[in-house]
A and B are shown apart, each in its own frame.
Chain A
Amino acid sequence: DAGVTQSPTHLIKTRGQQVTLRCSPKSGHDTVSWYQQALGQGPQFIFQYYEEEERQRGNFPDRFSGHQFPNYSSELNVNALLLGDSALYLCASSLAGATEAFFGQGTRLTVV
């Protein structure tokens, strides 16, 4: 049983560009959450998708957007990249109503 998989694992982008990160949830999971982990910090909640709708959103600007597909996989899009967007982006999947979440290995984004 594959766990949560994220792609790509590493990415380098130039300031002002746009980036799309992808996540496949654990088999059977229908809810996907995205977190940003800056160096030396804990993960910070970006948003969560369930039934292809954004269900909850953290304190992130509109440059951060997402999508969930009918197969429950998800994308995180970041527009107009800033140097401060450099971080590890983590995807977590869970079952609706469950309190535990399973994380992928993350995508390391570097903005230069």
Chain B
Amino acid sequence: DQQVKQNSPSLSVQEGRISILNCDYTNSMFDYFLWYKKYPAEGPTFLISISSIKDKNEDGRFTVFLNKSAKHLSLHIVPSQPGDSAVYFCAASIEVPGNQFYFGTGTSLTVIP
């Protein structure tokens, strides 16, 4: 049972434009969400997170939006750069110490120069 879903396996965007990656979840107990970026032959790298008490969190070119009623979050990257080309994983957890992350299946982003 996949509790976190990323329905777009891949996305291509022109350099300088906005990239929007989407994620849906089913478990209403989730209250903490993260995005990880993964390059080939490397482990996932933490990118940005958001707690359920917020609906937006911004860090430089990266912004995560959370819509709790729709159980949906999105990651916006603007402007997109070729170095952003990677697989992006959405993850969710119940914010208690040591709780596990539930990951989506990932979206492969390609930024075209």
Contacts and interface: CB of A to CB of B under 8 A. Distances in A.
Contacts of A6: 43
The contact size tier of chain B is 20 to 34
Contacts of B32: 99
Interface in B88-109: 89, 91, 93, 95, 97-106
A40 interface: yes
B100 A58 contact: yes
B41 interface: yes
Nearest to A95: B97
Interface stretch (B44-52, B57-65, B74-82): B44-52
Interface in A1-51: 4, 6, 31, 33, 35, 40-45, 48, 50
A28 to B, nearest CB: 16
A57 to B, nearest CB: 9
B69 to A, nearest CB: 23
The contact size tier of chain A is 20 to 34
B34 A100 contact: yes
A103 B101 CA distance: 12
Given A102-B46, A103-B45, A105-B41, A97 B97 contact: yes
Contacts of B97: 96-98
A10 to B, nearest CB: 10
Contacts of A100: 34, 46, 49
A99 B100 contact: no
Interface of B: 4, 6, 32, 34, 36, 41-46, 49, 89, 91, 93, 95, 97-106
21 contacts: A41-B105, A42-B4, A42-B6, A42-B103, A42-B105, A43-B44, A43-B103, A45-B102, A56-B99, A56-B100, A96-B98, A97-B97, A99-B32, A99-B49, A99-B93, A100-B46, A101-B46, A102-B46, A103-B43, A103-B44, A105-B43
